[in-house]
Structure 1
Amino acid sequence: MASTYLTQALHRAKALYPSRTATIYGGRRRTYAEFVDRVARLAAGLRQVGVMPGDRVGVLAQNSDRYIELYYAVWWTGAVINPCNTRWSPREIAYSLDDSKTSVLVVDDTFAPMVDDLAKRSDSLRTLIYAGDREAPAGMHIYEQLILDCAPMADALRSNEDLAGIFYTGGTTGFPKGVMLTHSSLWSSTVTIAEMVAPFESVGLHSAPMFHLADGAFILALTLRGGTHVAIPGFDPNLVVDVIPKEKVTVTLMVPTMIQMLVDHPKFDPPSMKSLTQIIYGASPISEALLYRAMDGLPETKFTQAYGLTEMSPVISFLGSEHHVRDGKKIRSAGQPAFSVEVRIVDPEGNEVPRGTVGEISARGPGVMQGYWGKPDQTAAALRDGWLLTGDGAYMDDDGFIFVVDRVKDMIVSGGENVYSAEVENAVAQHPAVASCAVIGIPNAQWGEAVHAVIVCAAGVEPPTCEEIRNHCRDLIATYKCPRSIEIKDALPLSGAGKVLKTVLREHYWKEQERKVG
């Protein structure tokens, strides 16, 4: 049987264009021959410290050339990667490590100071690898030394339905869920993305976080196309406006918040960015006003919207540059289904609804996840006869374009990050002054949506301030998930079944937003 394996792109690159530049990070530049050699040596180093096929390897680091190498080295040695969310609290990271039985963790300079705390919280963590540029902390293996000390190993060639990665998402039940993706599921999205947004020999800028599958998929597609990876630690408009002309970047991936920060930056100079032929954006809704500003500011740059979920590896649909036309009929849509993806809009019973009728987006194809790690009930709820229920409400027009209208699962998207209200509610409710609460997303000019908590106070206590609630929540969840605003109410609106009516809580804020836009 033919094999689909994610390291195939490296074998091809080494054979066809070994001298082409593969990675750029600051002053470090490596060819594909060097890149593949380092991957094979690092894979041997991972095996040397005890990583066996199927084992989980975590990485907690900012973007870098080493992060890209590690993705491939984990697969080369036959293991499974667990990219840790750098914005999570130590408690949340430790949960993901223990939940997936991740025993090896690679950290950089930024996160090395967190290791002692993680080691105390995690039962599964056994081996630490330091991938920084300073003096290595005691008790850690050194990333570069593993490469120096080990001869290249043969590719383990894990493939097809072998597990490739566990990518954690926010949890609707208050705990993150590990999305299991195979070599074949990730490969299907790689080929699709490469065809749509990564022309041959592209120079791609990685400023979106590499732990997000959006950028992980961008890494895979760019490698398949023989492109050059330009990495910066994270999104910083100062760095972005400098590195694009310096390295002649041709394509990059951004969330709407990044686009706004870029076009608002005082050093934003479109003529100097003429090499940038394409921006891929997604992860959260973008306002037409911002999209038009970006299109006007970068008239030679094509814009492509990608819609998807981690559970789909991650692509579901694309809105191509040909539909990015001011006041165009399709510009508000999420585009049409991607290659190899089928989409239906269904009712609660799973029946397809007529075109133009709002229902839930369901999708199927080779990119669908295996399931949620260790969560069979949640897997069964998300997968129905091979179709993934996305939790997003939408309708499809007669041309097959998808128009997302709501998030069925009350997910908040703030600055491109998914925030699940149940998770925040669990944290807020632990404050002694809180009797009950509901968390919703409200409009925010900078972040798209902001986390807002509606609180009913316990009897006889002084109402908490927003800062008190935020400080309390910071010990339990990541800072970006903490409420940015609160309001105190005597009671929460409830349905006849006793469920909180979040639509009532949101109504005022979004109507006010509509009045402002109008």
Structure 2
Amino acid sequence: MNMPENKSDSFDLSDLPGRAVRNTPKKTAFAFNDRQHTYQDVATTVSQLTLQYRRYFKSNELVALWLPNCPELLYAYISGFQAGVISMPLHHDYKFPEVKSILRKSACRHLIVLNNQLDDEILNELDDVELDQVWGIENGVLHPMLPGMKESRANISHVNRPVGPESIGLVLHTSGSTGQSKGVMISRSSLMHIIQGRIECAEIDEHSVAIVASSLVHSVGLYQALAFLSTGSSFVLMQSYEVSCLSHTINNIQPTHLIMVVSAFEKLLMHPLIKASSFKNIKFSSVGADRVTSTVQEKYYSITGKTLSASYGMTELSWMIIHNSPDPDISEALGRPAPGVEIKLLDQEGNEVKEGEVGEIYARSPKQMEGYLNDPDMTQRSVLDGWVKSGDLALKDVNGIYWFIGREKDLIVLHSGDTVSPVEIEQEILKVPGVRGCVVIGMRVQDEYTHSLSEVPWAFITHNAAVPESDEILRHLGKRISDYKLPRKLIFLDHLPEGMSGKVIREKIRDKWSGSSNNSPELHDLVG
């Protein structure tokens, strides 16, 4: 693996969650299903698992964790920090070929799964992956699942490398909006800056009570859980965003903190059990993983009289811009830079744009990644002079507030040379009654007169019970945006394809509908 060299050994992540264990050992750290895990339980289980880690894994060695949301995954993370091992979580919903591909690309030699998670057929398929061992984990104890293990692994302390603050602590896989998996390397130092940033921005303390329903293999869920554990607070760990279970849990425990992806929050707000009393103890509620829509903000405001906070970020940088203004008129803004984060907007020539002009977001902070695992070329393209390139377009207004314009690669370039921001159209379509979700994509079509290919905007829409009338949408748009920006097609779908982080994967929509006939019954012409 291409890992950065250690630069310092003054920083230590291995004490997590030591303060709470020392001060309040009998306090509930987290609850899962019907069991409560105290801080003393966490300390005891992590201690025994760390001993196994140090016996079987080298420090700075990559260990894959293919686990669902469960206590074992949390224990594996913390034991990895204490043993100086690099945890590489893999989403539990990955198909086995996807897991094999990541294991090969990363050169990872160890895979941890739940006991009985893999049957013999799948284990046999691992013959073509160079693994030293597949480990089953139960109650914080590792069990080898493959017959035999290289004897040289039984005692490896003599080959351990020093672990310092710049050592890699995590490799998180992200597809962003592209659908292509990338291994993002997070140093131990960056991780502690991220946790501290979460604590400060969300005002988390030992009295906080939270629900963690986001996947622990993604930054939204993982960093929440680590922040709560490090402050000695309590949370309920859930297996998923299943809305009925989530609604009951919220009403039962009355959380002070609720941080989820946008799509999950939207479903939650529509559930009949969710009322103003459900959020009576909320001190901090926030959405991430995608931009917050007016539909979500308006529904939350109608229930609570408050606006949702929103966090803009990426796995490579964590939270970059935070929106926590109570003003409903700017509820859809990205907000202002998070503490310790520098933001600049650049044009296509690399020059900083003026106030009110659109540019690509570049950011740098102590929280940023060290690079992409085994991909120095992508790292070089993505990190320029210490600034991480986001691929997102925004503008900054006179008040220093940033507004999202769209993905740089998602901008639609018309045959006239005019550019169209999908976000502008999406925001307006989402205001039409009955519309639940919307994605606007530039589709390459052939001009009926010149036969040349050019991009035009198509709108892909999900709806509530009744399908909105195309004419109603056209009238709404016609009053609010220029004619050249109007979508040429409406396509009504049951759902929009989402990645495992909750972001809509535009490429899947584009690939499916490229080349679709204008006569398809699912296509509704808006503009001739």
TM range (shorter): 0.7 to 0.9
Distance in 2 between the 1:248 and 1:285 partners? 26
Output the CA distance in 2 between the equivalents of 1:250 and 1:349.
45
Give the structure 2 partner of residue 229 of structure 1.
235
Q: Partner residue of 1:371?
A: 371
2:77 counterpart of 1:71: yes
Conservation of the 8 A alpha-carbon contact between 1:277 and 1:302: no
1:402 aligns to what? Answer: 402
Q: 2:143 & 2:193 partners in 1: Cα distance?
A: 40
Contact 2:177 2:506 in 1 (8 A): no
2:88 to 82, 88, 105: 82
Q: How many residues align?
A: 429
Q: Which residue of structure 2 lines up, in the alignment, with residue 20 of structure 1? A: 27
Specify the alignment match of 1:311 in structure 2: 316
Would the aligned equivalents of 1:43 and 1:74 in 2 still touch at CA under 8 Å? yes
- The corresponding residue for 1:38 is 45
Query: For the residues of structure 1 that align with 2:36 and 2:10, how far apart are their CA atoms?
Result: 31
In structure 2, C-alpha distance between the alignment counterparts of 1:266 and 1:307, rounded to whole Å: 29
* Residue matched to 1:274: 280
Report the 3-state secondary structure (helix = DSSP H, G, I; strand = E; otherwise coil) of the residue aligned with 2:308: strand
* Residue type of the alignment partner of 1:390: S
The correspondence of residues 206-221 of structure 1 with structure 2, limited to 5 A, is 206-221=212-227
CA contact (8 A) 1:102 1:125 kept: yes
Task: Quote the offset at 1:217 in angstroms.
Answer: 1.4
* 1:3 maps to 2:31: no
Residue 189 (structure 1) aligned with residue 198 (structure 2): no
1:509–1:200 distance in 2 versus 1, CA, 3 Å: farther
CA contact (8 A) 2:27 2:38 kept: yes
Whether the 8 Å CA contact 1:244–1:276 is kept in 2: the answer is no
1:270 and 1:491 mapped to 2: Cα distance? 47
Q: CA deviation at 1:174?
A: 7.5
Q: What are the within-5 Å matches in structure 2 for residues 146-165 of structure 1?
A: 158-165=163-170
CA distance in 1, matches of 2:356, 2:116: 48
Residues 86-97 of structure 1 mapped to structure 2, 5 A cutoff? 86-97=92-103
The answer to whether residue 343 in structure 2 is matched with residue 339 in structure 1 is: no
Q: Which runs of 5+ in 2 are unaligned?
A: 1-7, 148-160, 412-421, 424-438, 442-452, 465-492, 497-503
TM-score by length of 2: 0.72
Residues 292 and 310 in structure 2, CA contact (< 8 A), matched pair in contact too: no
Instruction: Tell me the amino acid that sits aligned with residue 316 of structure 1.
Output: M
- Aligned counterpart for 1:289 among listed residues 278, 290, 295: 295
Query: 2:185: which partner in 1?
Result: 180
Contact 1:4 1:159 in 2 (8 A): yes
Q: Relative to structure 1, is the Cα distance of residues 376 and 440 closer, same or farther in structure 2, using a 3 angstrom cutoff?
A: farther
Contact persistence 1:180–1:370 (CA under 8 A) = yes
| SS in structure 2 at match of 1:400 | coil
The residue number in structure 1 matching 2:135 is 129
Q: CA deviation at 1:487?
A: 3.5
Distance 2:163 2:511 in 1: 47
Checking the alignment, whether the CA contact within 8 Å between 1:177 and 1:373 is kept in structure 2 is: yes
Deviations 1:329-371 (A, max 9, x none): x322111111111000011232211111101000011112111
Summarize the Cα distance change of 1:278–1:510 in structure 2 as closer, same or farther, 3 Å threshold: farther
- Residue 384, structure 1, aligned to residue 384, structure 2: yes
Q: Residue 349 of structure 1 aligns to a residue in which SS?
A: coil
Amino acid at match of 1:325: D
Assess if the C-alpha contact under 8 Å between 1:61 and 1:110 holds in 2: no
What SS does the aligned partner of 1:58 have? strand
- Note if contact 1:442-1:510 (Cα within 8 Å) is conserved in structure 2: no
> 1:490/1:228 Cα in 2 relative to 1: closer, same or farther (>3 Å)?
closer
- The TM-score normalised by the length of structure 1 is 0.73
**Whole-angstrom CA distance in 2 between matches of 1:289 and 1:166:** 34
1:362 and 2:362 are equivalent in the alignment: yes
SS in 2 for 1:279: strand
What is the identity, as a one-letter code, of the residue corresponding to 1:348?
Q
**CA separation of 1:118 and 1:232: change in aligned 2, threshold 3 A:** farther
Q: 2:172 aligns with which of 160, 167, 176?
A: 167
Higher alpha-carbon deviation: 234-243 or 91-100: 91-100
- RMSD between aligned residues: 4.0
Q: Distance in 2 between matches of 1:263 and 1:187?
A: 32
Give the C-alpha shift of residue 252 in structure 1.
Answer: 2.0
How far apart in 1 are the matches of 2:290 and 2:124?
Answer: 30
**1:275 counterpart SS class:** coil
Match of 2:515 in 1: 489
